[in-house]
């Protein structure tokens, strides 16, 4: 199975996926990093790991359709079976989602459906909840709303700062995302309506 990771920033989840594949925990080929930000630290991680880079900048294209058409060409060239979003700061169009129906997964730093959006850790911290967490889910046409694959709770202590909470969330992400990808690669995820059924056999 061929995987493409989409990232716009530091690429810490991307690095966790690279490690899991190297250790044989995920039996798949990491064929492509799709990145829209030339300053992203994920790019150097891809170079070190020998992963092909598709640097596709939105400003180089007249519209979203042309931008995504360029991405699709890379995906076709590498015969990508699964798209893994790891801090990709753009909503995918309904057309691209339809093209890869149930073949795109995302990680979100909160227990969906709570705290959707790009500032989920801060929103949960500011709201004062005692428990937040991490969600891995399939991507549909709406933001942070696809069927949930795995979730793990993270407690918020009185002594936690936003920075310490971010560290705790990222630590969980780096374990949970490779687990979810492994389940997908091994054919252990089945979508029934809005629910994902995980086979442990």
Residues marked active site are found at 108
Q: Where are the beta strands (DSSP E) in the chain?
A: 2-7, 29-35, 52-55, 82-85, 104-108, 131-138, 148-155, 189-192, 195-198
Q: What is the chain's alpha carbon radius of gyration, rounded to the nearest angstrom?
A: 16
| H or E element at residue 112 | none
Q: Are strands 82-85 and 104-108 parallel, antiparallel or unpaired?
A: parallel
Give 137's strand partners: 106, 148
């Amino acid at each position: 199975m061929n995987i493409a990771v989409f990232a716009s920033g530091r690429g810490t989840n991307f690095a966790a996926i690279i490690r899991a594949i190297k250790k044989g925990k995920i039996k798949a080929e990491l064929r492509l990093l799709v990145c829209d930000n030339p300053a992203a630290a994920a790019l150097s991680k891809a170079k070190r790991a020998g992963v092909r880079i598709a640097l596709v900048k939105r400003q180089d294209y007249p519209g979203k359709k042309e931008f995504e058409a360029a991405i699709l060409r890379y995906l076709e060239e590498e015969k990508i079976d699964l798209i893994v979003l790891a801090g990709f700061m753009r909503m995918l169009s309904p057309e691209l989602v339809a093209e890869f129906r149930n073949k795109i997964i995302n990680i979100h730093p909160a227990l969906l459906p709570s705290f959707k959006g790009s500032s989920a850790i801060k929103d949960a911290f500011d709201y004062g909840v005692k428990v937040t967490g991490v969600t891995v889910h399939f991507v549909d046409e709406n933001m942070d709303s696809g069927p949930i694959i795995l979730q793990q709770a993270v407690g918020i202590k009185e002594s936690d700062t936003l920075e310490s909470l971010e560290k705790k969330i990222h630590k969980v992400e780096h374990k949970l995302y490779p687990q979810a990808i492994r389940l997908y690669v091994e054919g252990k995820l089945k979508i029934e309506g809005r629910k994902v059924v995980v086979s442990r056999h």
